[in-house]
Amino acid sequence: MSHYPIFADLRGRPVLLAGAGHIAERKAESLLQAGAEIRVVADALNPAFQTWLNQGKITWLGTGFHDSYLDDVFLAVAATDDHKLNRRVYEAAEARGKLCNTVDNAELCSFIVPAVIDRNPIKIAISSGGTSPVLARKWRQIIETLVPLHTGKMAQTAGRWRNRVKAAIHGTEQRRRFWENLFDSRFSTLTAQGSHKEAEAELAAQLAGYRPSRGEVALVGAGPGDAGLLTIHALQAIQAADVVLYDALVSDEIMAAVRKDAEKISVGKRAGAHHVQQEETNRLLVRYAREGRRVVRLKGGDPFVFGRGGEEAQVLRQAKIPYRIIPGVTAALGATAYAGIPLTHRDCAQSALFVTGHSRHDGSEPDWHTLALSRQTLVVYMGTLKAVEITAQLIRHGRSENTPVAVISNGTLPNQTVRTGRLKDLPDIAEKAPRPALMVIGEVATLRDELAWFGGHQVETAAELAEAV
Range of the domain at 289: 216-329
Cβ neighbours of residue 283 closer than 8 Å, sequence gap 6 or more: none
pLDDT of res. 360: 56
Give the active site residue among 226, 242, 247, 302: 247
pLDDT of res. 469: 47
* In a domain? residue 67: yes
**Interatomic CA distance for residues 419 and 424, integer angstroms:** 14
**Dihedral through CA 95, CA 98, CA 103, CA 108, nearest 10?**
30
Proportion of the chain in helix, strand, coil states, percent, rounded to 5: 40, 20, 40
339 and 256 share one domain? no
Judged on CB neighbours under 10 Å (0-12, 13-18, 19+), 85 is middle
185 and 226 share one domain? no
232 and 358 share one domain? no
336 and 464 share one domain? yes
Tell me the β-bridge partners of 353.
378
Nearest to 442 by CA among 358, 367, 371: 371
For the domain that residue 171 is a member of, what is the CATH number?
A: 1.10.8
For the domain that residue 374 is a member of, what is the CATH number?
A: 3.30.950.10
* In a domain? residue 427: yes
311 and 258 share one domain? yes
User: pLDDT by residue (tens digit) across 154-189?
Assistant: 999 999 999 999 999 998 888 999 999 999 999 999
Cβ neighbours of residue 406 closer than 8 Å, sequence gap 6 or more: 339, 341, 418, 419, 420, 439, 440, 445, 448
Angle, in degrees to the nearest 10, between helices 172-183 and 151-168: 140
Q: How many domains does the chain have?
A: 4
Residue 160 parent element (H or E): helix 151-168
pLDDT of res. 173: 86
- Catalytic site includes residue 269: yes
- Catalytic site includes residue 226: no
Give the active site residue among 264, 269, 386, 424: 269
90 and 182 share one domain? no
Judged on CB neighbours under 10 Å (0-12, 13-18, 19+), 356 is middle
298 and 310 share one domain? yes
* In a domain? residue 249: yes
* In a domain? residue 80: yes
Whether residue 322 is preceded by a cis peptide bond, meaning omega within 30 degrees of 0, is: no
319 and 379 share one domain? no
Instruction: State residue 164 phi and psi, 5-degree precision.
Output: -65, -40
pLDDT of res. 333: 97
Whether residue 121 is preceded by a cis peptide bond, meaning omega within 30 degrees of 0, is: yes
Which residue ranges in the chain fall short of pLDDT 50? 469
For residue 115, the number of C-alpha atoms closer than 13 Å in the C-beta half-sphere is 19
Instruction: State residue 277 phi and psi, 5-degree precision.
Output: -70, 150
The one-letter code for the residue type at 310 is G
85 and 166 share one domain? no
For the domain that residue 75 is a member of, what is the CATH number?
A: 3.40.50.720
* In a domain? residue 294: yes
462 and 336 share one domain? yes
